[in-house]
Amino acid sequence: MEVYEKLRILADAAKYDVSCASSGHQRGNANKQLGSTAAAGICHSWSEDGRCISLLKILYTNHCIYNCAYCVNRSSNDVKRAAFTPEEVVSLTINFYRRNYIEGLFLSSGIIKSPNHTMQRLIEVVKQLRTREGFNGYIHLKGIPGADEGLINEAGLYVDRMSYNLELPTTKGLRLLAPEKERKQIIMPMQQVRDQMIAYRDMKKHLPSAPSFIPAGQSTQMIVGATDETDYHIIKIAEAMYNRLALKRVYYSAFVPGSTHPAVVERGRPPLNREHRIYQADWLLRFYGFKADEILTPDQPQLDLLVDPKCQWALNHMAYFPMEVNRVPYAALLRIPGIGVISARRIVNARRFSALSYDDLKGMGVVLKRAKYFITCKGKYCGDGDVEPVYLRQKLLEPPRPEQISLFQTHPEVFDESEAIIRGLLT
Amino acid sequence: MVYLHDGSFEGVLSGIYKMFHAKAKINEGKLYEASVYQQSFFELTLNVETVREHAYRVAKSLYDSFGQEGFKCVYYAYLAEDDSYGTLLFRTLKQAYKLGGQAFEALGVEDIRRLTQMANKVSRESHLLLGLLRFSKLENGIYYAPFEPTQNIISILAPHFEERLADQVWVIHDTKRGIGAFYDKEQYHMAPLDSLETIQYAQDEVAFQSMWKDYVKHIAIEARRNLPLRRQHMPKKYWQFLTEMK
pLDDT (tens digit per residue) in B178-220: 999 999 999 999 999 998 888 899 999 999 999 999 999 999 9
Tell me the shortest Cα–Cα distance from A148 to chain B, in angstroms. 31
User: From CA B163, how far away is CA B220, in angstroms rounded?
Assistant: 31
Q: Which residues contact B70 (CB under 8 A, 6 or more apart)?
A: B62, B63, B96, B101, B103, B104
Q: What is the pLDDT of residue A329?
A: 97
pLDDT interval class at A265 (50, 70, 90): low
B127 vs A40: CB contact, 8 Å cut-off? yes
Instruction: Express each pLDDT in B17-41 by its tens digit.
Output: 999 999 999 999 999 999 988 887 7
User: From CA A178, how far away is CA A69, in angstroms rounded?
Assistant: 6
A29 vs B127: CB contact, 8 Å cut-off? no
Percent share of chain A, pLDDT over 90: 65
User: From CA A118, how far away is CA A252, in angstroms rounded?
Assistant: 25
The arithmetic mean of pLDDT across residues A178-193, rounded, is 86
Q: Contact B224/A270 with Cβ under 8 angstroms?
A: yes
The arithmetic mean of pLDDT across residues A148-154, rounded, is 94
CB pairs under 8 A between A and B: 173
A353 vs B108: CB contact, 8 Å cut-off? yes
B212 vs A101: CB contact, 8 Å cut-off? yes
Q: How far is CA A254 from the centre of its chain?
A: 11
Q: What is the pLDDT of residue A386?
A: 63
pLDDT interval class at A185 (50, 70, 90): confident
A33 chain-B contacts, CB cut-off 8 A? 166-167
Q: Which of A11, A36, A401 sits opposite B215 (nearest CB)?
A: A11
Q: What is the pLDDT of residue A425?
A: 40
Q: What is the pLDDT of residue A262?
A: 54
B219 vs A47: CB contact, 8 Å cut-off? yes
- What is the DSSP code string of chain B? -EEEE-SSHHHHHHHHHHHHHTT--TTT-EEEETTTPPP-TT--EEEPP--HHHHHHHHHHHHHHHHHHHHHHHHHHHHT--TTHHHHHHHHHHHHHHH-TTGGG-TTSHHHHHHHHHHHHHHHHHHHHHHH---EEBTTS-EEEEE--SS--HHHHHHHHHHHBTTS-EEEEETTTTEEEEE-SS-EEEEE-PPPS---B-TTHHHHHHHHHHHHHHHS-GGG--HHHHHHHS-GGGGGG-GGG-
User: From CA A102, how far away is CA A22, in angstroms rounded?
Assistant: 10
User: What ipTM was estimated for this complex?
Assistant: 0.94
Between A41 and B73, name the one with better pLDDT: B73
Report the residue of chain B nearest A43, measured CA to CA: B131
Q: Contact A220/A165 with Cβ under 8 angstroms?
A: yes
B242 chain-A contacts, CB cut-off 8 A? 45
- Evaluate the CA torsion angle B182, B186, B187, B189 in order and state its sign: negative
Polymer length in residues for chain A: 427
A118-122, A267-271, A375-379, range with the lowest pLDDT? A267-271
Q: Which of A28, A45, A403 sits opposite B244 (nearest CB)?
A: A45
Q: Which of A4, A54, A269 sits opposite B211 (nearest CB)?
A: A4
Looking at the DSSP bridge assignments, the partners of residue A27 are A37
Task: For the beta carbon of residue B115, count every other beta carbon within 10 angstroms.
Answer: 26
Q: What is the pLDDT of residue A378?
A: 92
B219 vs A35: CB contact, 8 Å cut-off? no
Query: Using alpha carbons only, what angle is made at residue A255 by residues A253 and A259, rounded to the nearest 5 degrees?
Result: 145
Q: What is the pLDDT of residue A394?
A: 79
User: From CA A164, how far away is CA A142, in angstroms rounded?
Assistant: 6
- Tell me which residue of A239, A235, A392 sits closest to A311, measured CA to CA: A392
The arithmetic mean of pLDDT across residues B146-155, rounded, is 97
B103 chain-A contacts, CB cut-off 8 A? 353
What is the three-state SS of chain A? CCHHHHHHHHHHCCCCCCCCCCCCCCECCCCCCECCECCCCCCCEECCCCCEECEEEEECECCCCCCCCCCCCCCCCCCCCCECCHHHHHHHHHHHHHCCCCCEEEEECCCCCCHHHHHHHHHHHHHHHHHHCCECCEEEEECCCCCCHHHHHHHCCCCCEEECCCECCCHHHHHHHCCCCCHHHHHHHHHHHHHHHHHHHHHHHHCCCCCCCCCCCEEEEEEECCCCCCHHHHHHHHHHHHHHHCCCEEEEEECCCCCCCCCCCCCCCCCHHHHHHHHHHHHHHHHCCCCHHHHCCCCCCCCCCCCCHHHHHHHHCHHHCCEECCCCCHHHHCCCCCCCHHHHHHHHHHCCCCCCCHHHHHCCCCCHHHHCCCEEECCEECCCCCCCHHHHHHHHCCCCCHHHHHHHHCCHHHHHHHHHHHHHHHC
B224 vs A50: CB contact, 8 Å cut-off? yes
Q: What is the pLDDT of residue A405?
A: 37
The arithmetic mean of pLDDT across residues A358-366, rounded, is 90
Q: Which of B109, B132, B220 sits opposite A47 (nearest CB)?
A: B220
Torsion of CA A45, A47, A49, A50, to 10 degrees: 10
A92 chain-B contacts, CB cut-off 8 A? 211
A346 chain-B contacts, CB cut-off 8 A? 105, 107
Q: Which of B108, B145, B229 sits opposite A356 (nearest CB)?
A: B108
User: From CA A144, how far away is CA B78, in angstroms rounded?
Assistant: 50
- Tell me which residue of A305, A384, A380, A375 sits closest to A338, measured CA to CA: A375
Q: Which of B216, B223, B227 sits opposite A256 (nearest CB)?
A: B223
Maximum CA extent, chain A: 74
A3 chain-B contacts, CB cut-off 8 A? 211
Q: Which of A12, A95, A98 sits opposite B218 (nearest CB)?
A: A12
A99 vs B99: CB contact, 8 Å cut-off? no
Q: Are strands A380-381 and A375-377 parallel, antiparallel or unpaired?
A: antiparallel
Q: How far is CA A92 from the centre of its chain?
A: 26
How are strands ordered across the β-sheet holding A375-377? A323-324, A375-377, A380-381
Best B173, B185, B215 residue to mutate vs chain A (most A CBs within 10 Å): B215
A15 vs B218: CB contact, 8 Å cut-off? yes
A254 chain-B contacts, CB cut-off 8 A? 224
pLDDT interval class at A225 (50, 70, 90): confident
pLDDT interval class at A399 (50, 70, 90): low
Q: Which of A11, A35, A98 sits opposite B135 (nearest CB)?
A: A98
Report the residue of chain B nearest A36, measured CA to CA: B164
A325 chain-B contacts, CB cut-off 8 A? none
Q: Which residues contact B242 (CB under 8 A, 6 or more apart)?
A: A45, B132, B134, B234
Q: Which of B108, B218, B222 sits opposite A350 (nearest CB)?
A: B108
Q: What is the pLDDT of residue A404?
A: 43
The arithmetic mean of pLDDT across residues A291-315, rounded, is 94
Q: Which of A56, A270, A356 sits opposite B224 (nearest CB)?
A: A270
Best B162, B171, B218, B239 residue to mutate vs chain A (most A CBs within 10 Å): B218
A15 vs B219: CB contact, 8 Å cut-off? yes
Q: Which long-range contacts (CB under 8 A, 24 or more apart) does B220-223 make?
A: B220/A15, B220/A47, B220/A48, B220/A49, B220/A51, B221/A15, B221/A16, B221/A49, B221/A51, B221/A256, B221/A270, B222/A49, B223/A256, B223/A257, B223/A269, B223/A270
A99 vs B135: CB contact, 8 Å cut-off? yes
User: From CA B134, how far away is CA B241, in angstroms rounded?
Assistant: 7
Phi, psi of A128, rounded to the nearest 5 degrees: -60, -45
Q: Contact B82/B43 with Cβ under 8 angstroms?
A: no
User: From CA A379, how far away is CA A324, in angstroms rounded?
Assistant: 7
Q: Which residues contact A322 (CB under 8 A, 6 or more apart)?
A: A373, A374, A375, A376, A381, A383
A50 vs B227: CB contact, 8 Å cut-off? yes
The residue type of B185 is K
Query: Using alpha carbons only, what angle is made at residue A409 by residues A407 and A410, rounded to the nearest 5 degrees?
Result: 70
Instruction: Express each pLDDT in B162-176 by its tens digit.
Output: 999 999 999 999 999
A19 chain-B contacts, CB cut-off 8 A? none
Q: How far is CA B71 from the centre of its chain?
A: 14
Best B107, B167, B201, B231 residue to mutate vs chain A (most A CBs within 10 Å): B107
Q: What is the pLDDT of residue B179?
A: 96
A411 has pLDDT over 70: no
A32 vs B185: CB contact, 8 Å cut-off? yes
A51 vs B167: CB contact, 8 Å cut-off? no
Looking at the DSSP bridge assignments, the partners of residue B5 are B33
B127 vs A42: CB contact, 8 Å cut-off? yes
Report the residue of chain B nearest A7, measured CA to CA: B215
Q: Are strands B188-192 and A55-59 parallel, antiparallel or unpaired?
A: unpaired
Instruction: Return mean pLDDT, chain B.
Output: 95
Phi, psi of B89, rounded to the nearest 5 degrees: -65, -45
Question: In chain A, what are the domains?
Answer: 3-295 (3.20.20.70), 309-426 (no CATH)
